[in-house]
Structures are given as structure tokens and as C-alpha cells.
């Protein structure tokens, strides 16, 4: 295993690139840690990032730990949706600290900029994050270090504080100027990239936190694909196109029900069976009729059609395609989820948006 001087939190955003590059410019070996979960992370882009930015980057799968953290209720609260921005940074820094010895590294780098985010990058929030992650002795924030107290890593001379920066606020002029100095030819957009900050994604996730105990990363990965429909505790993921169908197939669990209309083109649908979900025969037939309704040719056929249901001994089942079934399948809405979210996690705190 190659030894490094520093481990850097690396999202793929401009700030994380610049933080790593700043310390590399001091002659230090930096390994960038790209954390991956169902909510964030783009491991498919790592090869591109390595090539274009000249960085060593390693993916780190934190899905199971991260899901447990949210399900338990983040200590420092959630933002407008399901984003635990302060606890998220604490989580990542603590994880990086646990990896220091493995790589022989002496410090951790973070691309935070003082005042850039109202929830997690206030001065008090930065102190809370470093305190609760127990990284005060090893953390360096290269982009805003000169606006923060000197750290032991800088005081020792291992990192030259004079070559760090004093960036602050929401503007990007300083970052873009530094990117030009480093010769970056591709500048990432400032989008956050975390699906927990998006209403469209979160309305898919909330029923999983509500009904599945404990939820698994695979459940959220499934919910990221196609349409999500619920009838009480019963859950259907329905593909919108061939790409969705292929992705759904790749995420199947042995206990899942898989619906596909016979003789007519139409979507693949997955009925996830989990403790507490009651997939009796009547419910399976109801779901089959609903899934068949997404096949226009099956609907125009007028007469009953056959739906294959993998995982059900009575397959195939004959049904009349219908969106108006007894179970009342529907997509969840944020308006319905918001009061339940507040009941489970408390009122939202100031958001990082």
C-alpha cells in the first residue's frame, strides 16, 4: 500500500479539487477519498477525474453506515429535505481519520470555505464539525485556513500555513482564479450533487425510512430508478424505459416479485418484499393489473392480459389493466411526507442551499 501525507475529502466539486491541489503544490502526496452511497458519489467518473486533474482518487463505499446514521436521527438535525449536512461532514471526517494509519497519512484535508454554506460552513458549525469528528489535531481546511485558528498540522510546519488561503463567502472568484493558476481545463459546476437535498428524490426516500426497519442501501438504490408507487406498506418500482428495466434487473433481491406483461411491450416492475409488507395473492393480482396499465398496447387490447410474476407460484396471472385498482397505488408526495418527516426527525434547521 502506497504511503500518503494527507487524505482529502473529494466530492468532485471545485473546492475539493483545489484543496487537494493546494497541498500537493507543497510537495505532499495526497490521496483523495470519494465517498459513495445511494445518495451521493459518482464512482463512474473517477477514471476521468484521475486523468484530467492528476489526482490519486479512491472510492469508499459508506452506504450502510450512512443509512444507519440518517435512520437513527442525525444529532445536528436535517435541512429542508433529508440532508444532514453537519452530521454528514462529521461522518466523513471521522471515517477519513480512521483511515489515516492505513495509508500512513498525517492529516486530513477538506475543501470547506467559511461562509459558503449557511448550515455547515458557518464558523461555529466548522468548530462543531471538527470537534465532534475528533479531528482538530489533524484537519486542515486549505481554502479558508487563514480565517481559522492555526492547527497543530500547520503549527508543526508539516503544512506551510503561508501557502494556504483566506477564502470566504458564496462567491467563486477566488476559486476560479486559483483553478486558472493550477491550469485546470475543466471546471465543475457548483451543483451540490447530494440527492438528499432534492425534493424529487426525497419524496421517494421517505416511505422507505417510514416503512422499512432497518432500511438498506439497496432499497434506496432501487428507489432511484423509474417510478415509485406505494399502496400502504406495499412498494412497486416501475421502469420508464429499457434502461430503467435493465437497471432494475441488476438490483433484484432473491425475495423480490418481478412483474412483466406477457405478449405486450411494457415496463418491468419490482415489488420489494420486506418484513411487514403483506404480498398476498390479492395484492399481487392488484399490482399486476396496475403494472399492465403502463403498457398502452395491453390497455388497448380491452380484454384481460397475462402478467408474469417471478417469485409467485400462481404466475402468470390474468388481469384487466387498470390505474384504478382496489389498493390505490400512487406516487408519494413531499406535501404528505413533510409532517411525517417533522414527527420523526424534528423541524428542519437552516439549510445548506
Instruction: Please give the helix or strand (H or E) that residue 161 lies within, else none.
Output: none
Closest by alpha carbon to 306, among 290, 284, 289?
289
List all residues 6 or more positions away from 76 whose beta carbon is below 8 Å from its beta carbon.
84, 86, 87, 90, 128, 349
- Residue 128 CA to residue 119 CA, distance in Å, equals 12
Q: What is the pTM of this model?
A: 0.92
* Alpha-carbon distance values, 128 to 65, 98, 107 (Å): 21, 19, 18
- Residue 54 CA to residue 17 CA, distance in Å, equals 10
- Residue 14 CA to residue 127 CA, distance in Å, equals 23
Give the strand order in the sheet containing 139-140: 56-61, 30-36, 6-9, 107-109, 139-140
Within 10 angstroms of residue 136's Cβ, the number of other Cβ atoms is 13
pLDDT score at 116: 83
Residues of the chain with CATH 3.40.50.620: 6-194
pLDDT score at 345: 86
- Residue 210 CA to residue 249 CA, distance in Å, equals 25
pLDDT score at 127: 94
pLDDT score at 352: 60
Closest by alpha carbon to 41, among 76, 66, 23?
66
* Mean pLDDT split into 10-residue runs, the chain, 353 residues: 91 96 98 97 96 97 97 90 92 98 97 84 91 97 96 96 94 94 90 83 91 95 97 97 96 96 96 95 98 96 95 96 97 88 80 58
* Alpha-carbon distance values, 231 to 225, 235, 290, 328 (Å): 18, 7, 11, 6
> HSE-up of 157 (CA within 13 Å, CB side)?
0
Cell 466548522 identifies what position? 126
User: Domain 6-194: which CATH class?
Assistant: alpha beta
pLDDT score at 339: 87
Q: Is the dihedral of CA 88, 93, 98, 104 positive or negative?
A: positive
Amino acid at each position: 500500500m502506497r504511503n500518503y501525507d494527507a487524505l482529502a475529502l473529494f466530492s468532485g466539486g471545485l473546492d475539493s479539487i483545489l484543496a487537494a491541489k493546494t497541498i500537493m503544490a507543497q510537495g505532499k502526496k495526497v490521496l483523495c477519498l470519494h465517498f459513495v452511497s445511494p445518495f451521493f458519489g459518482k464512482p463512474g467518473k473517477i477514471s476521468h477525474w484521475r486523468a484530467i486533474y492528476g489526482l490519486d482518487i479512491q472510492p469508499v463505499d459508506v452506504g450502510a453506515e450512512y443509512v444507519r446514521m440518517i435512520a437513527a436521527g442525525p444529532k445536528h438535525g436535517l435541512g429542508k429535505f433529508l440532508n444532514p449536512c453537519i452530521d454528514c461532514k462529521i461522518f466523513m471526517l471521522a471515517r477519513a481519520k480512521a483511515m489515516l494509519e492505513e495509508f500512513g497519512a498525517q492529516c486530513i484535508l477538506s475543501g470547506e470555505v467559511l461562509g459558503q454554506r449557511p448550515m455547515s460552513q458557518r464558523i461555529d458549525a466548522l468548530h462543531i464539525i471538527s470537534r465532534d469528528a475528533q479531528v482538530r489535531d489533524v484537519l486542515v481546511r486549505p481554502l479558508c485556513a487563514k480565517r481559522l485558528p492555526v492547527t497543530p498540522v500547520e503549527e508543526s510546519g508539516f503544512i506551510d500555513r503561508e501557502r494556504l488561503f483566506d477564502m470566504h463567502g458564496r462567491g467563486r472568484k477566488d476559486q476560479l482564479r486559483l483553478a486558472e493558476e493550477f491550469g485546470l481545463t475543466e471546471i465543475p459546476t457548483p451543483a451540490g450533487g447530494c440527492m438528499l437535498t432534492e425534493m424529487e428524490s426525497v419524496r421517494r426516500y421517505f416511505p422507505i425510512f417510514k416503512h422499512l426497519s432497518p432500511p438498506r442501501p439497496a432499497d434506496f438504490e432501487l428507489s432511484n430508478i423509474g417510478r415509485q408507487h406505494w399502496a400502504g406498506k406495499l412498494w412497486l418500482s416501475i421502469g420508464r424505459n429499457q434502461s430503467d428495466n435493465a437497471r432494475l434487473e441488476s438490483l433484484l433481491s432473491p425475495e423480490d416479485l418481478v412483474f412483466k406483461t406477457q405478449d405486450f411491450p411494457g415496463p418491468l416492475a419490482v415489488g420489494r418484499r420486506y418484513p411487514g409488507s403483506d404480498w398476498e395473492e390479492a395484492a399481487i393480482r392488484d399490482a399486476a393489473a396496475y403494472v399492465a396499465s403502463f403498457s398502452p398496447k395491453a390497455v388497448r387490447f380491452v380484454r384481460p392480459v397475462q402478467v408474469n410474476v417471478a417469485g409467485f407460484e400462481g404466475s402468470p396471472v390474468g388481469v384487466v389493466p387498470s390505474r384504478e385498482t382496489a389498493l390505490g397505488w400512487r406516487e408519494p408526495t413531499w406535501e404528505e411526507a413533510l409532517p411525517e418527516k417533522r414527527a420523526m426527525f424534528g423541524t428542519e434547521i437552516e439549510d445548506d442551499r
